[in-house]
Structure 1
């Protein structure tokens, strides 16, 4: 289906109305997964023409994402990834975990952005960041589209590593489902139960009577986990 390519319209607007010189596009992946981290990418692109075919990662085939991400990582002015672990998601809730991952990504950029374009209608980042939320920003804003592709490809690669490690994760199909619900994932959970990579506060455990006792109820994450920087030890 044809789609309109993303533009620098929002970036230009922020420069004109706020005086922002450095604008970062921010997007996340992994919010709806049952396993693995939630990952946020912050990308600064300037106002240059992007690689051909750039759009929301969900509109690209896996093959095309893998091709364009190599171009993007060379083309962007800078980018950084931030993650929140399953433990942090369980302890903080998704909104706070998203903020933590986004702050880790933004703070890992070589230069602090003057403004942030956040995909969606909800500002989960807040002060002190100057945030402009844009619904479907991953389709309309070049910086957000770049962040969406990088976040998706890099998190998918992290999840694929779980399947190849010697730890019995292969039955869950992480290389193909990236921790999201799928028939293979659901069958493995029913038979084997959750792993250390699963989010244990999520409602999928309610449908697994033999594993329901493992469900967690919002136990705050440790101070050490919250104070750790953008480089997290996932032990994948």
Structure 2
């Protein structure tokens, strides 16, 4: 992973990585995580969460929570997504995750090409950072596993929709269940496949 030069910030001693999970689904909150790794407690196998199996993500998430100097998982609600739009809600969740860190970082690296406003220190957006920066990889794993756990909660609350299987994404199964049952309270009304039920 590219990280030794901290992308042009060699004097940084406390670096946080931030990533999100759940921008694309039709239901549920969008999650974000911020992680400051411990230099003396390395974690082998960190990678973009999308390239890892569910079991491996869970194993690594446990190690991150155990070994990181600081970590925080936050979200923006369905109501906030519909009120703000998904991009602004995602940036809000990222800002909340950073604010929730027990240690204030010197610098923040954020996956993608946009930065949340109001971060407590200098920040840089890194395209495909979840595959390039260990801190962002760790954040992507925490955000993804938190969102997957939330989908299991949604499944228990709304078993007709199959959230345990499609995780809220607009799969054929999900769209079929939407046609059969209509949206539930967890659906994002501003997303086109759901919005048509309210027009």
TM-score, normalised relative to structure 2:
0.91
Asked if structure 2 preserves the Cα contact closer than 8 Å seen for 1:171 and 1:184, the reply is no
- Residue 39 of structure 2, aligned match among 47, 51, 61: 47
Determine whether 1:104 maps to 2:104: no
Report what 1:184 is aligned to: 173
1:198 aligns with 2:187: yes
Q: Larger deviation: 128-137 or 30-39?
A: 128-137
Could you tell me which of 151, 161, 183 is aligned with 1:172? 161
CA distance in 2, matches of 1:102, 1:175: 25
> 2:117 aligned to 126, 129, 132, which one?
126
Structure 1 distance, partners of 2:25, 2:124, is 26
- In the alignment, what sits opposite 1:11? 6
Deviation of 1:61 after TM superposition, in Å, equals 0.9
Q: Runs of 5+ in structure 1 lacking a partner?
A: 1-5, 214-236
RMSD across aligned positions (CA): 1.8
| Contact 1:56-1:149 at 8 Å conserved across structures | yes
Question: How far has the Cα of 1:95 moved from its partner?
Answer: 2.2
Q: Distance in 1 between matches of 2:50 and 2:109?
A: 18
1:39-69: per-residue Cα shift (whole Å, max 9, x none)?
A: 0000001434632221000000112112221
**Structure 2 gaps, min length 5:** none
Q: When the two structures are aligned, how many residues end up with a matched partner?
A: 198
**C-alpha distance in structure 2 between counterparts of 1:47 and 1:7, whole Å:** 15
Q: CA deviation at 1:87?
A: 0.5
Q: What are the residue-to-residue correspondences of 1:50-69 with 2, within 5 Å?
A: 50-69=42-61
- Report Cα offsets for 1:67-121 as digits up to 9, x if no partner: 2211121121110011100100100112221221112111111122221100012
TM superposition outliers: structure 1 runs of 4+ over 4 Å = none
Paired residues of 2:95 and 2:118 also in contact (CA < 8 A): no
Higher Rg:
1
Q: Who is 2:143 aligned against?
A: 151
Q: d(CA) in 1 for partners of 2:58 and 2:86?
A: 27
Counterpart selection for 1:140 from 120, 132, 145: 132
- Look up the SS of the partner of 1:156 in the other structure: helix
